Structure 1
Amino acid sequence: MGTTAAVERPPAKGATATRRRRVAGLGTLVTVLVIAVVLSLAVGARALSPAEVWHALSGAPDPDRRLTEIRLIVETVRVPRTVLGIVAGIALGVGGALIQGFTRNPIADTGLLGVNSGASFAVVVAITVFGLGDPLQYVWFAFAGAAVAGVVVFGLSSIGRGAGNPLTLALAGQGVTVFLAAMTTAVALSDQAALNALRFWNAGSLAGAGFDVIWPVTAFIGAGLVLALTTLPSLNLLNLGDDVARGLGVNIALSRTAGITAITLLAGAATAACGPIAFLGLMVAHVARYLTGPDYRWLVPFAGLLGAVVLLLCDIVGRLVVRPGELDAGVLVALLGAPFFAVLVWRGKFRKA
């Protein structure tokens, strides 16, 4: 009996240590995110001190014109931009982790569902057919296009012999993505206004969106996060294999449907608000897996926080490198993500999702 107790204690201690390490990691990421938020509010074409940012946020009366200008900059430009960076970063980070889990593909990204190409095609249609030139108008077309593309991909992967197979989902996503990309190019080349808008939107930027767009988009992302959280226990079992998961009582079709719906809501809303941000979900999912291991109950929150941190930091760097101009956050993420992807391939570090 004493021997049994001695044998059982080390795993318990190991599990406790792992849990403490993960909790400490979450605390560290939250701290880094807070620092990134402060920097995002202070850094830009006009640098502000923490005291000036605090005064602008506190609602204190403005004794001079200079402080009124600072408040205008903070409230109308930097606060919305920072909030969008947090919301979109969390959405893309969580979506990246989920898509790798549900497809069991370590190089899967949210673009695999055709979300990015669907949104792009909807934008050029909105401009060309309906004459919409304001980003606040065609952002809703972008979300609808992303959602429809996700539904079509999932529908195509659910029919035929390979129904429900992760490989079928990847192939369907690639086929829809290529088709929509060709259609987008064809439409954009026939309309100069659509081509100009698409060129700007495809860069992926946090600038320009106000709270009239951010709050509705956040509602969709919130719904996606809630749905994502409900899938995490079954997702852990699905990654043991469909047969094992089915034997343990998982409804595979229902679980995958819920997961793909959550990914479409998350990635579609984020893409609609700030354009396609390539590689973010791919990168942070791998880093999160390295930090937490394969347990999606921890991996997904880590990926969400990492996504927000990386997107905000890239946006901050983009404001500094070409001052007084700016480099879009999507460009910086791609510049960071492409070498990251290449290193993963070179070192053969793709761990099973």
Structure 2
Amino acid sequence: MTSVLPAGPASPAAPAPSPTTSVTLAAVRRRELRRLAALALLAVAVIAGFCLIGLTGNWEYALGVRSRKIATMAVVGVAVACSSVLFQTVTGNRILTPGVMGFDQLFVLIQTLIVFLFGALALSSADPRLLFAGQVTAMVLFSGALYRRLFGGGRDLYVLVLAGVVFGTLFRSLSSLAARMINPNDFVVLQDSLFASFNQVDPGLLALSAVLVAAMAVWTARLTGRLDVVALGRDHALNLGVDHASVVRQSLVVVAVLVSVSTALVGPVTFLGLLVANLARQLTGTFRHGVVLPAAALLSLTVLAGGQLVLERVLTMNGALSVVIEFFGGAYFIALLIRESRR
């Protein structure tokens, strides 16, 4: 006889998924926006301090001069920040800047050769527009030749970087050799022209530089999504359907134009890009280029305007701002190397 067993208790329903404890994507986006807004407010406050502190005499004239300086800092700041972030992304190295490609040393060599061949008077009396066009053209052609010969032939990107280092050393050696043979009085004029200065920039060149930098910024904005993927590495980018080589080539073109324009406009500012690019990632807590790029640009403007404010109003000095930036940027570079070596 078959016994009928009583039905056991009903099996409990599957437990509902517990609410996630991780931060939601919307919360992350809001946090990034808040940090960008804080950096923007800081930049506005520093700019206002630079324009208004110690303002005496003819306000209209003084504000015009200071506003022109701020505009120059904005153009240079955006150019240096964007070029540094892009270069670090495509090389996968946070301690490299476009300066290793020899752009700064080529600028120094051009200035030195002008003084060596034609004298300091030729440099000081040359048409700034012609000089700017010549320097930008020389640096862009130099970078284009490197990209086409080394990276365009399918070679590794690091071969391109090493070639830039070698050419930078060559340019530095040639500049030193020519500098030793020029007149001491001409050498003083040459030295003054080699430090980045925001005091005397031709308004026409500033407007042209702003247009070029804005065009490169728009180009960069269109690459931000693919740059996030390229930052994962070449293999991951290819697996996710991103043309790694194309993005890298476009980024290198943008870097070449931005560095050439900013260097020809005010002179070399070596460690500024390294400083603001790494600080932008640390302060925003993300590697998304849609956040890091504007954050780096805001930090660059803040550093330039704040440094000039301290130099002129607090220390009452007329020295070159680039010297101060190189000092603090170099110290940060050493600290970054020590921290990376301990990981």
If the length of structure 2 is used for normalisation, what is the TM-score? 0.85
Distance 1:182 1:301, change over 3 A: same
Q: Which amino acid aligns with 1:166?
A: L
In 2, distance between residues paired with 1:196 and 1:277?
A: 20
Contact 1:119 1:141 in 2 (8 A): no
Identity score, percent: 21
Partner of 2:138: 145
Pairing partner for 1:70 from 52, 55, 59: 59
Partner of 2:10: none
Segments of structure 2 that go 5 or more residues without pairing to the other structure are 1-12
What CA deviation, in whole Å up to 9, does each residue of 1:211-252 have, x standing for no partner? 122111111111221121222222221222212211222222
Partner of 2:29: 19
Q: Residue 159 of structure 1: CA displacement? A: 5.7
Partner of 1:191: 182
In 2, distance between residues paired with 1:339 and 1:100?
A: 19
In 1, distance between residues paired with 2:295 and 2:314?
A: 28
SS of the residue corresponding to residue 250 of structure 1 reads coil
In 2, distance between residues paired with 1:170 and 1:143?
A: 20
Distance 1:346 1:17, change over 3 A: same
Distance 1:95 1:3, change over 3 A: farther
Segments of structure 1 that go 5 or more residues without pairing to the other structure are 53-65
Q: Is 1:333 matched up with 2:325?
A: yes
Partner of 1:289: 281
In 2, distance between residues paired with 1:347 and 1:305?
A: 25
In 2, distance between residues paired with 1:174 and 1:142?
A: 19
SS of the residue corresponding to residue 124 of structure 2 reads coil
In 1, distance between residues paired with 2:242 and 2:37?
A: 32
Contact 1:123 1:141 in 2 (8 A): no
Count of paired positions: 324
Q: Whose Rg is larger?
A: 2
In 2, distance between residues paired with 1:24 and 1:225?
A: 22
Partner of 2:45: 35
In 2, distance between residues paired with 1:40 and 1:185?
A: 37
Partner of 1:118: 106
Partner of 1:104: 92
Contact 1:109 1:281 in 2 (8 A): yes
Q: Which amino acid aligns with 1:97?
A: V
In 2, distance between residues paired with 1:3 and 1:312?
A: 58
Distance 1:175 1:4, change over 3 A: farther
Partner of 1:306: 299
Q: Residue 150 of structure 1: CA displacement? A: 2.2
1:1-353, aligned counterparts within 5 Å?
6=18, 10=21, 13-43=23-53, 47-48=54-55, 66=57, 69-75=58-64, 77-129=65-117, 131-134=122-125, 136-137=128-129, 138-158=131-151, 163=155, 165-192=156-183, 195-290=187-282, 291-320=284-313, 322-323=315-316, 325-348=317-340
In 2, distance between residues paired with 1:297 and 1:288?
A: 12
In 1, distance between residues paired with 2:228 and 2:241?
A: 13
What CA deviation, in whole Å up to 9, does each residue of 1:308-348 have, x standing for no partner? 1111111212213552x412111111111111112112223
Q: Which amino acid aligns with 1:71?
A: E
Contact 2:92 2:233 in 1 (8 A): no
What CA deviation, in whole Å up to 9, does each residue of 1:126-179 have, x standing for no partner? 44446342472433333223323322332343166x71x232222011011111
Q: Residue 297 of structure 1: CA displacement? A: 2.0
SS of the residue corresponding to residue 287 of structure 1 reads helix
In 2, distance between residues paired with 1:213 and 1:313?
A: 24
Question: For structure 1, which segment, 326-335 or 183-192, has the greater mean C-alpha deviation from structure 2 after superposition?
Answer: 183-192
Question: For structure 1, which segment, 97-106 or 125-134, has the greater mean C-alpha deviation from structure 2 after superposition?
Answer: 125-134
Q: CA RMSD in A?
A: 2.5
Q: Residue 200 of structure 1: CA displacement? A: 1.4
In 2, distance between residues paired with 1:2 and 1:298?
A: 41
In 1, distance between residues paired with 2:14 and 2:341?
A: 42
Question: For structure 1, which segment, 147-156 or 28-37, has the greater mean C-alpha deviation from structure 2 after superposition?
Answer: 147-156
In 2, distance between residues paired with 1:3 and 1:129?
A: 83
In 2, distance between residues paired with 1:166 and 1:334?
A: 27
Q: Which amino acid aligns with 2:52?
A: A
Distance 1:315 1:250, change over 3 A: same
Partner of 1:56: none
Contact 2:195 2:267 in 1 (8 A): yes
Q: Which amino acid aligns with 1:232?
A: T
SS of the residue corresponding to residue 116 of structure 1 reads helix
Q: Residue 301 of structure 1: CA displacement? A: 1.4
